[in-house]
Amino acid sequence: GQDAGGADCRPRTPVSFELYPPRSDAAALALGRTIDRLAEADPAFISVTFGAGGTSRDRSLTVLRYMLENTDVEPMAHLTCVGSSHAEANRLVREFLDAGITSFLALRGDPPVGADSDEGIGDLDSAAELVQLIHRVQEEREPFAQVGIPGLPGVTQIGERPRPERVAVAAFPTGHPRSRGAAQDVDTLLAKEIAGANLAITQLFWHADDYLGFVERARAGGVTIPILPGIMPVTTPARLARLTELTGVEPPASLAIDLEIEPDAAAQVEIGIDFATRLAADVLDGGAPGLHLYTFNRHEAVLDVVDRLGLGPHDRLVNERNTTER
């Protein structure tokens, strides 16, 4: 987070965004424009999802490279490890580091549909193992990048070599679908922190108390890394249904019904933005360290949320109002 600049020098609440790699050339072109607009909001980072099994590797890298070359935004690469051998995972991490990516969201990923069991289909069974691997590959690749000074804690960085800035991991406020209970979700997160993660980003949730309660349990369980709430403005009933299917997190009936009975598309958008803005305001009031906004590869709704919360760069707010229509 940087200062808002100008007369107002309060530190701004960090905001970050999440995209998925485009599936066509036309979508890629539109995504470039979306990234440019998102970048104007001065996010802490923009993350790009990764198809488990590596199906989107090249497309994810293209988007990340676009950010490196055309914006000042820190690109964060999601990586998954399910089904990978050690050698494959090693190569993957190396390839992203070579491209200049230094921020990662380390995930296990979901096994292919139809796999009988999660076990034994690859060498890495959990996100925590991928976190360790990212740190290990980085150290092997740049053995001189970290030099400890005897008698002093910490390390000194030498030279300009890129190092992982952030190794983020997923957290599940309402429980991972495979979790055996709330304690397992906290334990899994703690294991990822011990493995070297320095940031957690949550799965979607629909009630501020789900997030705030989870953070409280995580702190009680020994987790100390920041836990960013993941929030999405959901602007159509179809999208809400799809999200519920993807995440297994049940939305409030009131939101589903409001979207369903509203015939006007613009009014549906307003319902989604209003819901997300209120949820975001509540978790920030409760102490959330920032906001991670799922964009669905569109900038309008998330930037509206950012503006309504007063979290955008101040000059952008005014320009935006005068020059864009939805």
Q: List the one residue from 23, 33, 91, 178 that touches ligand FAD (CB under 6 A).
A: 178
- What is the distance between the alpha carbons of residues 218 and 173, in angstroms, rounded to a whole number? 10
Supply the DSSP symbol for 229: P
State the nearest-atom distance from the C-beta of 180 to ligand FAD, in Å: 7
- What is the distance between the alpha carbons of residues 53 and 262, in angstroms, rounded to a whole number? 39
Task: Please identify, using beta-carbon distances, which residue of 34 and 49 lies nearer to ligand FAD.
Answer: 49
Regarding beta strands 199-202 and 227-228, do their DSSP bridges make them parallel or antiparallel, or are they unpaired? parallel
| 80 binds ligand FAD per the rule CB under 6 A | yes
| 244 binds ligand FAD per the rule CB under 6 A | no
Task: Please identify, using beta-carbon distances, which residue of 57 and 65 lies nearer to ligand FAD.
Answer: 57
Task: Please identify, using beta-carbon distances, which residue of 132 and 138 lies nearer to ligand FAD.
Answer: 132
Q: Which residues of 181-208 are buried (b: 16+ CB within 10 A; e: fewer)?
A: ebeebbbbbbbbbebbbbbbbbbbbbeb
Q: What part of residues 18-77 is at the interface with ligand FAD (CB under 6 A)?
A: 49-50, 52
- What is the distance between the alpha carbons of residues 31 and 21, in angstroms, rounded to a whole number? 9
| 274 binds ligand FAD per the rule CB under 6 A | no
CA 230 vs. chain centroid, Å, equals 7
State the nearest-atom distance from the C-beta of 230 to ligand FAD, in Å: 5
- What is the distance between the alpha carbons of residues 165 and 132, in angstroms, rounded to a whole number? 14
Structure tokens at 234: 């959901």
Could you tell me which stretch among 96-104, 177-185, 217-225, 316-324 binds ligand FAD (CB under 6 A)?
177-185
Q: List the one residue from 163, 166, 176, 207 that touches ligand FAD (CB under 6 A).
A: 176
Q: Would you give the binding string for ligand FAD spanning residues 179-208, x where CB under 6 A is met?
A: x----xx--x------------x-x-----
| 89 binds ligand FAD per the rule CB under 6 A | no
78 — phi, psi (to 5°)?
-75, 140
Task: Please identify, using beta-carbon distances, which residue of 103 and 268 lies nearer to ligand FAD.
Answer: 103
Residue 203's SS3 state is coil
Q: Which residues are catalytic?
A: 18
State the nearest-atom distance from the C-beta of 132 to ligand FAD, in Å: 12
Locate all alpha helices (DSSP H) within the chain, ordered by sequence: 25-40, 57-70, 86-98, 127-141, 182-195, 208-220, 237-247, 253-261, 265-285, 300-308, 314-323
Task: Please identify, using beta-carbon distances, which residue of 118 and 165 lies nearer to ligand FAD.
Answer: 118
State the nearest-atom distance from the C-beta of 94 to ligand FAD, in Å: 19
Q: What part of residues 122-151 is at the interface with ligand FAD (CB under 6 A)?
A: 126-127
| 109 binds ligand FAD per the rule CB under 6 A | yes
State the nearest-atom distance from the C-beta of 87 to ligand FAD, in Å: 20
Under 8 Å CB-to-CB from 130, ≥6 apart: which residues? 79, 80, 81, 89, 106, 107, 108, 124
Residues that bind ligand FAD (CB under 6 A): 49-50, 52, 78, 80, 105, 107-110, 118, 126-127, 170, 176, 178-179, 184-185, 188, 201, 203, 230
